[in-house]
Amino acid sequence: MTKFVACVLAAIVALSYAPLLRASERVSPNDTARFLAGLHPSPDSPLSALTKSAVWQRHAARFDTLFELKNRDSLNRIRVFAAKEVPHADRPLLYFFSGPDFLYANAFFGDAPVYVLSGLEPAGDIPRIEDLDSRAVEFTLHNTERSLNSVLDLSFFQTNDMRRELSAGPVFGTLPILYTFLARAGKTISEAETIVLDQDGGIKKATAEGQAGSGGISQEGMRGLRIVFSDKTHSQQTLYYFSGDVSNAGLRKSGLLKFCESLGQANALLKSASYLLHRDRYAYLRDFILKQSALIAQDDSGIPFSSFDPSKWDLQPFGNYVGPILLFRNRYQASLAHLFQARERKGLDFGVGYQWRRNRSNLLLAVQKPAIL
């Protein structure tokens, strides 16, 4: 009897580690995104059976609460602000230092046909939830929640924590976070693939052999993601995420700026950017954004205010400039403070950036003036 019980227990343990679905039952990217986001996949999806677990149902209930609060307290307010204050929001959007923050990119620029996001966080591979055992699925759901804690509670990712969390587990990188944000934004994903950007700005499908080295650059080039999606008002939009170093040295090795230039005149969003564009080692990127963008929406951590030529830019401040948080106290900008004091500024009814409390947030909307011939 003891031997029989031992055999039964061994079989149960083995089953608990077996893939929950047959490998041949490949799941669509949209169903995978909805599952990770705590939303029901299509009824005929192989993932539908997994939504009956207590683990997934707790995950879904938690995300329902968190995203409802986020929409009410900030994202819906940002959408109203953008509709009123942001002209020509249907250009491509460049959002450097974003990590996987499609959440705010979509809130500020919901009509962008193309989104280009970048960060040091790994892109990751296409999630195959159908190949995971129950413990791996539970870890993936919990890790997705942990990865989103700061951006949902505050308004930005905490880079060191996020990089650690996004490197853990069988489902890793920014892709599960992007999937979650897209699904919660009401998007339907039709395509998703891992890509490589060569030095000439060309894109090709990534190979398993061409894993990225330091700075997100493999022998093939800068690795990234391409996701095609739609919603009720947009027949097709495309999101690119590129993982890599965007300092002067890193940009010399990649074709990122060439790719962005090929999209034509764009809008730019800069938020919680660690004041990197204040440094000379990021001068290439700073100059490119100023040259390529027709409109820039940023908090004070983006391009230094002194870099905007008032003869070329209309500059409208919103909110309150109270200076940087303690971590960046040496990045106070007296000229920006003067703008907020001397120019009629408009209010903000949402929080954004490092100074995420509503009455302490600042936003600068810079719009290029028409060229005088």
Residues 362 and 355: beta-carbon distance below 8 Å: yes
Give the integer Cα–Cα distance in Å for 249 and 265. Answer: 24
**Tokens describing residue 192:** 């998703």
The pLDDT tens digits along the chain (373 residues) read: 454 444 434 334 333 434 444 444 579 999 999 999 999 999 999 999 999 999 999 999 999 999 999 999 899 999 999 999 999 989 999 999 999 999 999 999 999 999 999 999 888 888 888 888 888 888 889 888 888 876 565 544 544 555 554 555 566 688 999 999 999 999 999 999 999 999 999 999 998 644 444 445 555 689 999 999 999 999 999 999 999 999 999 999 999 999 999 999 999 999 999 999 999 999 999 999 999 999 999 999 999 999 999 999 999 999 999 999 999 999 999 999 999 998 788 999 999 989 888 789 999 999 999 876 5
CA distance between the termini of the chain: 94
104 closest CA partner among 181, 162, 34: 181
Residues 250 and 215: beta-carbon distance below 8 Å: yes
List beta partners, residue 362.
Answer: 319
Give the integer Cα–Cα distance in Å for 228 and 36. Answer: 18
Residues 16 and 134: beta-carbon distance below 8 Å: yes
